[in-house]
């Protein structure tokens, strides 16, 4: 049986390339995560879920619809709030009297208007 030197060389080059690049590793970029960072993230998620639960109440939904706001769009916006925006919303919620659901709705709408003015959202197309 005849040997084909060109085929053997071709296979040898492929094997050399495979073995050369098999050892190359992509550098990992891992950082140390502190307990404070994990606690802050879980606090943010807890706060978002509290706001979502409040927005799911029938009276709140009705108030949002009366103001011309799409409830599903508000849910998406709550998901994209940053930590500072959630803190701002928290401070406004803490200042409201108990049962002041209208104030809470207005605080959420105020934040949405601010995000619209900054160009981050398009909840209110007229702004």
pLDDT: is 8 or 98 the higher one?
8
| pTM given for the model | 0.45
The pLDDT of 80-96, averaged and rounded, is 73
Banded model confidence at residue 4, pLDDT cuts 50, 70, 90: low
Q: Distance of alpha carbon 87 from its chain centroid, rounded?
A: 16
pLDDT confidence of residue 123: 65
pLDDT confidence of residue 8: 85
The pLDDT of 92-102, averaged and rounded, is 60
Q: Distance of alpha carbon 27 from its chain centroid, rounded?
A: 26
**What is the residue-wise DSSP string for 47-104?**
HHHHHHHHHTSHHHHHHHHHTT--HHHHHHHHHT--HHHHHHHHHHHHHSPTT-HHHH
Between CA 34 and CA 6 the distance in angstroms is 58
Banded model confidence at residue 45, pLDDT cuts 50, 70, 90: confident
């Amino acid at each position: 049986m005849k040997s084909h030197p060109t085929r053997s060389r071709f296979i040898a080059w492929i094997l050399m390339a495979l073995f050369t690049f098999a050892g190359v590793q992509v550098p990992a970029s891992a950082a140390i995560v502190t307990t404070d960072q994990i606690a802050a993230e879980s606090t943010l998620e807890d706060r978002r879920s509290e706001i979502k639960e409040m927005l799911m109440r029938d009276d709140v939904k009705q108030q949002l619809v009366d103001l011309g706001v799409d409830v599903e769009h508000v849910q998406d916006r709550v998901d994209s709030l940053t930590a500072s925006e959630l803190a701002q919303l928290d401070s406004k919620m803490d200042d409201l009297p108990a049962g002041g659901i209208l104030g809470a709705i207005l605080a959420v709408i105020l934040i949405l208007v601010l995000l619209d003015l900054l160009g981050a959202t398009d909840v209110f197309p007229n702004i």
